[in-house]
Amino acid sequence: MSSVQSHTLIKSLLFVPIVVLLTLATVSTIARPSDVQEVAFFCRISDDVPATMVRTPQGELVIIHWNSDQLNESEFTVEELCEQVSQRFQTYYDTGELNYITTGRMNRQLVACVAEREGGACKGLLFTLNSKSKPRLALQRVLRIRVPTEGPINETTGRVYVNFEEYLSGQYSSWLNPFNPLESPGSY
């Protein structure tokens, strides 16, 4: 074996372990199970009422109790609505579309919907609201939060945008502690 071939062989033998180590380091960084933040939406009975809920690393949170007078009458049972809306939350969350929750109109109905950004248009239906409700107040009551305002609000046209990540992390004032199962939201 010539010295050139020997030198090339040594280089390639040194190169292979480096590539293997880099590959293993990359795979272990990507596939580290402790970094996975599982978020799951589901329907469960809470305070004797069907509720759309979310499970996060911080615990379980009731998003909607399906007895609110702020929600629209429907041809579906509250159990069916709970299942359908829980699945919508999951789909929008999984696809990265659940950035903001706001209100709008779809098919001439007042709705709660997802928006890409604050001030953005409705991109997907979450659930319908009572048409006699003031949209801003209705959404806050359904989600059991208070959203601060800047200046006077026109309740018929003013829209509220709820940042969903902030909602999940408890950054909005609440009418109750959503992580405390002993507190009941009652019917808003």
Tens of pLDDT, residue by residue over 126-147, are 999 998 889 988 998 899 887 7
Tens of pLDDT, residue by residue over 99-117, are 999 999 999 999 999 999 9
pLDDT of residue 15: 45
Q: How confident is the model at residue 6 (pLDDT cuts 50, 70, 90)?
A: low
Strands 49-56 and 59-65, how do they pair?
A: antiparallel
- Determine contact, residues 50/82, Cβ cutoff 8 Å: yes
pTM higher than 0.85: no
Beta bridge partners, 40, equal: 55
d(CA 88, CA 6): 63
- Residues found in the chain: 188
The region of weakest confidence among 13-27, 37-51, 140-154 is: 13-27
Of 102, 100, 120, the C-alpha closest to 111 is 102
Q: How confident is the model at residue 51 (pLDDT cuts 50, 70, 90)?
A: very high
pLDDT of residue 156: 41
